[in-house]
Amino acid sequence: MMLDCFIRALIFSILNNNKIKSAFFKNTVLFNKELAAGLKNAPGKLYALKADASKEEDILAAFDWIKKNLGGVDILINNAGVGTAETLSNVSDISWRVLELNVKGLSIFTREALKSMKERGVNDGHIIHINSVLGHWLPGGRPVTMYHASKHAVTVLTEGLRRELVQLGSKTKVTSISPGLTVTEFANAYGPEIKKFLYEENAVLQAKDIADAVIYTLGTPPHVQVKKY
């Protein structure tokens, strides 16, 4: 499995622009020579861990490793996600996988990151959910899928968390970044014909565009919160 190109772009951006110790999680960890070369002189440091974001035990083990080796989490970027063309009328186990990863996994990661911050008295962290434009509207003339449902859930959960933290007096920021069509390995799941249509017939974003949005959001001063991007 190739390392998702958004993750690749984000790793480059974060570690080459910040002295940050970063732990990245993926079901399959595979770093190519290009990535290794690009990080050789980076001021930040990368720790790559294998974890299934749909399994709570994997997530808890990952946070335990971070606590023991890095102290804890100040910034969380929730990017894990999968898609499906299934609708409610033909739902199968594939759709449950989408909800487990896109909603349940995101929620557990967020819970554990907040727990880590609270344990160490961190009141100015940052949680970023990589959402989708499909989490804010439903496309006309096409079926509404379980993927749409999962991203609408992310929109609600993100805003709910932001309000909760405000009520608690926390200065931890919460941001939803909702890209449109972006060139990544994500479209491979839909087959070559749909992939060709998506990327050749439409204006698209590049992975670096999303990584740049993350870097900008993280760089905002304490009194500025980017709610939605």
CA distance 31 to 211: 18
Residue from 130, 147, 134 nearest 207 by CA = 130
CA distance 105 to 84: 17
CA distance 229 to 222: 17
Residue from 30, 29, 84, 93 nearest 58 by CA = 29
Buried b (16+ CB within 10 A) or exposed e, 203-223: ebeebbebbebbbebbeeeee
**Positions marked catalytic:** 147
